[in-house]
Every structure is written in structure tokens, then in C-alpha cells.
Copies of this chain bind each other. A is one copy, B any other.
Amino acid sequence: MVSRLSRQLIAAEQPILAAQSVSMWGYIVLTALDRTPLRTQAALARAIGADKTRIIGVLDDLQERGFIRREPDPADRRVHLLALTPAGRRLHARVRRAILQAEERLLSQMSAADRQTFLRVLQALDELDEPG
């Protein structure tokens, strides 16, 4: 069963995220913005599968701490353009490295080939879910 495993993996990630004072959603947002710099909040929510109303606080926090820019689009003043600041990019890289290290430790018992295949399939699945 996937659910139980994912619970534990999420739990395992918590201390890493806490060490950088980033929430799980915060990291997800950073990751999304690192991939595609600018968007609207609604698009962000859709992209990461989160609730529109629930990521507002996350964005508030990231903005206050200077990790993201959130400016009204001059062309359409309803939407907020979202982008990482250099500090945000650095933060994301740092957290990502820490998480990869932890994964590395977890997967250290598998062969390198297995590890690679596993992560590749994982990513493929991730991208598969995005449109739906």
C-alpha cells in the first residue's frame, strides 16, 4: 500500500524541512516556481494540486521572508506574478540538496541502477498526474 509508505516518507522529510524553517507546502511552492518562474496563484495551486485558499498563507510567509516576489501584473491587475528571488532560489537548492541526501541514505541499500530507475519512474508518474 502506498498510503502508509508515503506517510512515513513525509514524516521523514519533516525534520529536514523544519531545519530550514520551510513548510512542506513552502517547499512544494519553491520547487514549482523554480521550474517555471512566473504564474498566477490559481495556476500555482492547480499545478501543485493544492487549495487556492490554503496556499495564500504559504505565499505570505515566503514573501515576507524574501524568498518570492509577488507583484500584480501590470497587464492584468487581478493576477499576481510569482517568481523566486535569488534568496529563494538558494533556499530551494539548499533544501533540495538536504532532501536528496536523505533519499540517498534511504536508497543506499539498492543498487545504483535500481535507484536510478526508481527515481525516473517516480518522476514520470509525477508528471503523468499533473494534467489530470
A-side residues, CB < 8 A to B, are: 1-10, 13, 24, 27-28, 31, 48-49, 106-107, 109-110, 113-115, 117-118, 120-122, 124-126, 128-129
Q: List 30 A-B contacts (CB under 8 A).
A: A1-B24, A1-B27, A1-B31, A2-B6, A2-B9, A2-B122, A3-B6, A3-B9, A3-B24, A3-B28, A4-B28, A4-B48, A4-B49, A4-B126, A5-B6, A5-B122, A5-B126, A5-B129, A6-B6, A6-B7, A6-B9, A6-B10, A7-B49, A8-B129, A9-B125, A106-B128, A110-B124, A114-B121, A117-B118, A118-B118
Assembly stoichiometry (copies) = 2
